[in-house]
Amino acid sequence: MSSISSNRKPVLSQIATNDGHAEKCSYFDGWKAYDRDPFHPTQNPNGVIQMGLAEHQLCFDLVREWLVNNPEAFICTEEGVDKFRDIAIFQDYHGLPEFRNAVAKFMGRVRGDKVRFEPDRIVMSGGATGAHELITFCLADRGDSFLVPTPYYPGFDRDLCWRTGVRLLPVVCHSSNNFKVTRKALEDAYAKAVEANIRVKGLLITNPSNPLGTILDRDTLRELVSFINEKNIHLVCDEIYAATVFRQPNFVSISEIIEEDQACNLDLVHIIYSLSKDMGFPGFRVGIVYSYNDAVVECGRKMSSFGLVSSQTQYLIASILSDDQFIGNFLLESSERLATRHKVFTHGLRQVGIKCLNSNAGLFLWMDLRGLLRESTVEAETDLWRVIINDVKLNVSPGSSFHCSEPGWFRVCIANMNEETMKVALTRIGEFVLRNGNKLVRKEKCWQNNLRLSFSFRRMDDVVRMPCIMSPHSPIPQSPLVQART
C-alpha cells in the first residue's frame, strides 16, 4: 500500500480553485474595505460609507406598514398558522400557483400594463444571479460567448461564466453618445468573435442599465431585435430595474417590441427579472426567467431545482404583490423618492463641479471624475479610487470594474442609505474637492491647459439643506475642477 503524506492538501476541482468568481477586482475590493471599517453615525463616524451596493432602502416604511396590517401573510403567526403545513411541505419546482400569478401580474403592471405575462412561463431561481446562470446553461455550451454592451455589471463575469465556461465579449460603447448601443458596435464585436473562431450564442442587455441608470429607447430595442434575428442568436434582457424609472422617458420593455414585430423569432427572446431592486428584497432571492421559448421554459424549470425560492417566501410575496392598492401606492411613492434622492445628490455634486451622466432610472449615478485623473489610464483611475476608498472613506466603484472603455467614470449608489448618511457622504466629497481640486488637471484635448482654478464652495451641510432650485434637467454648470471648454 502506498502511503499518502498527511500534510498534502486535498485535490479540489478546477471550479473550486480558479478565479472565475471574478472576486479579485476593485468592485469587490471596495466591499471588503467597507466590511473592514463600516461607517456608523455614532460608533464609527469615520468609517467607510457603502456606496457600492445597489440596494433600494427608501421604501421599507411602506412595506413594514403593510406587514403589520397583514399578519395572515406569515405562516408563523396566529393569523396565518393554519397554512403552515401546506406551505412547509410544498416542493413543486413549478412554484405556488398564486406566486406565479402574482409575479406575472406585477411584471405587467411595472411595464404599464402594455403587455401581459403568462404565469406558466415564470421560472423561479435564486435571485437574478441564479436566473442568469440558469438561462446561460440553457442557451450555451462551454467555450461559447455572449456579447455584452459596456459598461456592464461586474457580477455578470461570475453569474454567466464561472460555472458554465461561457465567455462575455464586450460591445464597446462610448461617452460621446452617452454610451448608446449602436448597430456598428454590435457588428464590430460580432465580427471580432467570428474572426477569433468564437461562437456567439447571444446578446445580453440590461434595461434600465446598470451602471448607467439610463433606458434603451424604442428604436434601439428594435435595432437589437433586428440584429439578433439576422444573426440567429439569443437576446437576454435583464430588466431587474424596470420599476426604478423615476422620470421621462418611460421604460420600454423588450416584451413590447416583440409584440409589435411580427417577424421576430420569439424563441430567441428571454427576460431576466427579480424583486431585489424594484421592491428592495434582495435577501428573499426571488429571481425569474421569463422565456418565450417553450423548450427553455421546460429545461429551465428542471434546472431550477438547484435554486428554488422557498415556499414560505413565495407565499409572502404572493400576498404582497396581490394587494393592488398597496402595489400601486408603492410604485408611485418609490418613483417619487428615487427622483428626490437623485435630485438632491446630483445637486450636491454640482456644487463642487462634479457632473454625472444624465439618467432617469436605477439606484445609482454614473459619476464623471475624468477631470481628477492625472492621466487618462486605468492605472490613474485605480489610484484615484484608492484615495477615495482609503482617505475619503467612500466605497464607490471604478468604471474599469464595469469594463468601461474610458477611465474616470465611477458608479455611486445613492438609495442604500438614509438622508443623514447621504449628507455625510456629500460633505466628504466636497471636502476632498476643496483639498485637491486645484492640484488636479484634466488631460483631454477639449480642455485648455494651465488655467488657474478657483471656485467658491458652501459647506456641504448647508448645500444639502438648501432647496434644489436647479432642475436636474438643467445644463450642468462648468466644473471648477477642470479647465474651461474650448
Residues β-bridged to residue 68: none
Nearest to 219 by CA among 229, 210, 227: 227
Phi first, then psi: what are they for 190, rounded to 5°? -65, -45
Question: Does residue 71 have a cis peptide bond before it, meaning omega lies within 30 degrees of 0?
Answer: no
Neighbours of 162 (CB within 10 A): 17
Question: What value, to the nearest 5°, has the Cα angle with vertex 404 and ends 402 and 405?
Answer: 155
Tell me if residue 171 falls in helix, strand or coil: strand
CA distance 321 to 300: 24
Question: What value, to the nearest 5°, has the Cα angle with vertex 10 and ends 7 and 11?
Answer: 135
CA distances from 296 to 28, 100, 255, 302 (A): 32, 17, 17, 10
Nearest to 350 by CA among 214, 443, 470, 176: 470
CA distance 372 to 453: 13
Q: Number of helices and strands (H, E) in the chain?
A: 16, 13
CA distance 215 to 208: 4
Answer yes or no: are the C-beta atoms of 67 and 73 closer than 8 Å. Answer: yes
Residues β-bridged to residue 271: 237, 290
Neighbours of 68 (CB within 10 A): 8
Catalytic residue numbers, as ranges: 153, 238, 240, 277
Nearest to 32 by CA among 23, 41, 40: 23
* β-bridge pairing 234-238 and 200-206: parallel
CA distance 363 to 361: 7
Phi first, then psi: what are they for 467, rounded to 5°? -60, 145
Q: Which three cell numbers stand for residue 179?
A: 454610451
Q: In what order do the strands lie in the sheet with 355-356?
A: 355-356, 364-368, 409-413, 397-398
